[in-house]
Amino acid sequence: MEAVGSALEPETLYVADGHHRYETALAYRDERRAAASAWRGDEPENFVLVALASAADPGLLVLPIHRVTAAGVPLSEALNRLTGLFAVEKQPSLEALEARLSAVRGTPVLGLASAESADFYLLSVSDGKAVDGLLPQARSHAWRNLDYAIANHVILQHILGVEESQMSDYGTLWFTEDAAEAVRDVRSGPARYALLLNPVPITRVLDVADAGERMPQKSTFFYPKVPTGLVFNPLEN
């Protein structure tokens, strides 16, 4: 254990996934410590299981998480609201949209599907200053420059009218890692819009963490996942 600690001491460790589980583990430890008559420091509640991976490992993938919403703003109004903020480019298919999403570099870009149209829309930021003005200014530049921050605050809330209180309402807004599933929800399901995104480069995730911030809600899907139950940390004898 000391050898592992010494090896990791000069390194920076990032919590890339499982923030809530880690916070729950800390809360449980504090609860147990407050109820204990004595505390040695080696109780099992003082330890939590983690899986470590190198950010430079080519096998570590960050996959996109797409947004699907039942927001009721008509497409014509949404396109009108996009005017001046984004360049809007029609695409005939999901495959064509995904190819354009992956090809665009240097500017935030998102994809949009609507229940009112068979077309898809590529949205590229055209007025960066105006778009930035719609984002929480207390956030760092690294955070505000993320496609996912723009997706949540500008597209979903400003353009499609999703209220802040609805951002955690899975009847209004839900998420999927599968772009085809998101489109199916729009074409034949309960959704009105699907917002399709590129994966976040791992370097951008680290930039946000180095700025003292957490990533926006549902913006990273790290793969492969460690199988649940692979190892256990028993808390009682």
What's the pLDDT score for residue 237? 64
Same domain assignment for residues 68 and 131: yes
The structure tokens listed for 115 are 């229940």
Same domain assignment for residues 138 and 187: yes
236 occurs within a structural domain = no
Residue 199 has pLDDT above 70, yes or no: yes
Same domain assignment for residues 73 and 166: yes
Same domain assignment for residues 81 and 28: no
Q: How do residues 96-129 score in pLDDT, each as one tens digit? A: 999 999 998 778 999 999 999 999 999 999 999 9
Same domain assignment for residues 52 and 71: no
What pTM does this model have? Answer: 0.86
183 occurs within a structural domain = yes
User: Can you give the CATH number for the domain in which 180 is found?
Assistant: 3.30.1760.10
Same domain assignment for residues 192 and 96: yes
CB 42 within 8 A of CB 81: no
- Total structural domains within the chain: 2
The structure tokens listed for 64 are 């996109």
**Which of 135, 103, 106 shows the shortest CA–CA distance to 122?**
103
Instruction: For the chain, give the longest Cα–Cα distance.
Output: 68
Domain region containing 22:
2-57
CB 207 within 8 A of CB 133: no
Q: Residue 18: is it exposed, middle or buried by C-beta count within 10 angstroms (0-12/13-18/19+)?
A: middle
CB 104 within 8 A of CB 121: no
